[in-house]
Amino acid sequence: MKVTFQGNPITLKGTQVKVGDTAPDFTVVDNDLNPLKLSDTKGKRVFLTVPSIDTSVCDTEVRRFNQEATKLGEDVTIYTISMDLPFAQGRWCGGAGIDRVKTVSDYKDREFGNNYGVYINELGLLSRAVFIVDENNKVVYVEYLNEITEEPDYEKALEALK
């Protein structure tokens, strides 16, 4: 898969996942610096990977999913994963009024990035992607964006949750 950042080719490290795969385990860090693993999450999960929460496209994406989350029910949890430090993520969420999307960081071990094939070798950031995992840890939806400065297909992702 060819992936670009502002039109320039980039290299993604790790193994890309496909619909039907068992979701790979990972450890990320929450806003209180506590580890969070796949096994700590329950129900239907949406994992959004973004280059940085502080960019306009990421801001738009997280706000949209935060807004949609109120319609999805209590069994759906949305996580935004980036390489941003947990302190910056927490500050951004507070300022943006984000209360339904949980931000977590892959800065420490880069496990999510490598296990899901979204770690950008040249930039040390995560590529933009959407993963939906069901209550049995099966991947039911995947979108890797070819150009990481573009927004994901919200409608297809939301449809996969219904």
Catalytic residue positions, numbered: 58
Which residues lie closer than 8 Å to 150 by C-beta, 6 or more apart?
57, 128
- Contact indicator for 81, 101 with CB cutoff of 8 Å: no
Q: Rounded to whole angstroms, how far apart are CA atoms 92 and 34?
A: 18
**Residue 25 phi, psi (nearest 5):** -70, 165
- Contact indicator for 132, 139 with CB cutoff of 8 Å: yes
Q: Which residues of 67-95 are buried (b: 16+ CB within 10 A; e: fewer)?
A: ebbeebeeebbbbbbbbbebebbbebbee
